Amino acid sequence: MTYVFVYGTLKRGFWNHGYLADCEFIGTGHLVDKYPMIVDKSSAIPFLLNCKGSGHQVEGEIYKVSKETLSNLDRLEGYPGWYNRTDLPIHITSDPNRRQPYTIDCLVYILDYHEDEIQNSKFYSNYDHSHLTERS
């Protein structure tokens, strides 16, 4: 089994969550390090950019996934080719099975970026339903 950190449309309440419906929900948390997350205004889809030290400690959900689910997530996220997949430390702040916060490494889908893509972009710490109403 593999731990995956999701920060966008795979979270509960969003249209891609069905990919994780049969997976074990571990809890909620945030990236230990800061990374920029932008949201495409036309599609309302978030992108985590591989630029450690910029942005925020992005919030999300952690799941334990099977090899089959990971393969399905890879296809959804266009890995390899579109997204990269990397292990990042995640600080879990809410786990129904533990009382104290803790940190684990999770797979995270992240985009390589070009400097011009982030120069005038707003960075977010959390993706929620308000992003759907901000679509242009």
CB-CB neighbours of 53 under 10 Å:
8
- Band (pLDDT 50/70/90 cuts) for residue 130 is confident
- Give the DSSP per-residue string, 53-85: TSSB--EEEEEEE-HHHHHHHHHHHTTTTSSEE
pLDDT, one tens digit per residue, over 12-36 is 999 999 999 999 999 999 999 999 9
Peptide bond into 101 cis (omega under 30): no
Q: What pLDDT shows up at residue 135?
A: 52
pLDDT, one tens digit per residue, over 72-95 is 999 999 999 999 999 999 999 998
**What positions carry a catalytic annotation?**
77
- Band (pLDDT 50/70/90 cuts) for residue 42 is confident
Q: What pLDDT shows up at residue 117?
A: 64
CA neighbor of 37 nearest in space, from 124, 111, 136 = 124
Span 47-66, mean pLDDT? 96
Instruction: Evaluate whether 107 touches 85 at the Cβ level (below 8 Å).
Output: yes
| Statement: residue 2 has pLDDT above 60 | yes
Q: What pLDDT shows up at residue 134?
A: 62
